[in-house]
Amino acid sequence: MRQLGGLDPKTESCFTAPLPGDEGVRALTAKFDFLPAGDHLVRRRVPDLSAVQLCHEFLTTHLNPGGFYLDATCGNGHDTAFLCRLAGPEGRVLGLDIQPQAVEATNARLAAAGLDGIGRAIQLDHARLGEVAAPGTADCVLFNFGWLPGADHQVHSTAAGSLPALQAALDALKPRGVLAAVLYSGQVIGDSEKQAALAFFRSLPLTRYTVLVCEFANWASTAPLPCFVVKK
């Protein structure tokens, strides 16, 4: 199962096995979620919807191809590649990250996927987003706060830089443009950035913005929190 991806919580899988007669073997297979189905055991797993997936689904529903999209925290480039596919050949995507290894990884991912004609990444602090996106020009700005996956978790975004970046993103959006952000908290990074961002979102005037905070109600309080702001 491990070799075939059956233990990957992010991958949908289905395994079958002969129905054992031994109760001890049945108890062992039950620990791996195998259930009797006729004369076989079957194990099906459908991954939980993640905060990032929810962001992607929301943006796919609310954005049209051909726009100007910003990935303000490009990391290893997964979100940037998603935005490039969403923007399509007529669109334009710009990724930002303060860490050079993130910029290199993102540009390599885009090139390998044949998306480098649509998007690219540059080294820039997201707090300086306004330097590359004039007011009222962006259709979407996406933030995935926290740390660079696979890198030192002690290097992570903070409220001091993220709040100015959120304001710059709102300034950059066109009417009906969307800001999407995934907020994180935990033992390493605490929750000061998450709480500051939530306070910022909740302070936005209803006359200018619609704000959604999508809480996973039956997950831990430290679960990633997807948020959306639609500019009116």
The pLDDT-based confidence of 7 (bands split at 50, 70, 90) is low
Domains in the chain with CATH codes: 13-45 (no CATH), 51-231 (3.40.50.150)
> How distant is the alpha carbon of residue 72 from its chain centre?
11
Q: HSE, CB side, 13 Å, CA atoms: give it for residue 182.
A: 21
Q: pLDDT, tens digit, for every residue of 107-139?
A: 999 999 999 999 999 999 999 999 999 999 999
The pLDDT-based confidence of 81 (bands split at 50, 70, 90) is very high
The pLDDT-based confidence of 2 (bands split at 50, 70, 90) is low
Lowest model confidence (mean pLDDT) among 40-49, 73-82, 104-113: 40-49
Asked whether 161 and 195 are in contact (CB, 8 A), the reply is no
219 bridge partner residues = none
- Predicted structure pTM score: 0.81
95: closest CA among 61, 121, 69?
A: 121
User: Is the pLDDT at 63 greater than 90, yes or no?
Assistant: yes
Task: Please state whether beta strands 40-45 and 35-37 pair in parallel, antiparallel, or not at all (unpaired).
Answer: antiparallel
Residue 134's region, left for phi above 0, alpha for psi from -120 to 50, else beta, is beta
| Integer angstrom CA distances of residue 14 from 9, 35, 44, 49, 195 | 12, 12, 4, 18, 39
| Residue range 202-207: mean pLDDT, rounded | 97
pLDDT value of position 43: 81
Residue 157's region, left for phi above 0, alpha for psi from -120 to 50, else beta, is beta
Asked whether 76 and 149 are in contact (CB, 8 A), the reply is yes
User: Is the pLDDT at 105 greater than 80, yes or no?
Assistant: yes
Asked whether 168 and 178 are in contact (CB, 8 A), the reply is no
pLDDT value of position 22: 81
Mean pLDDT of the chain: 88
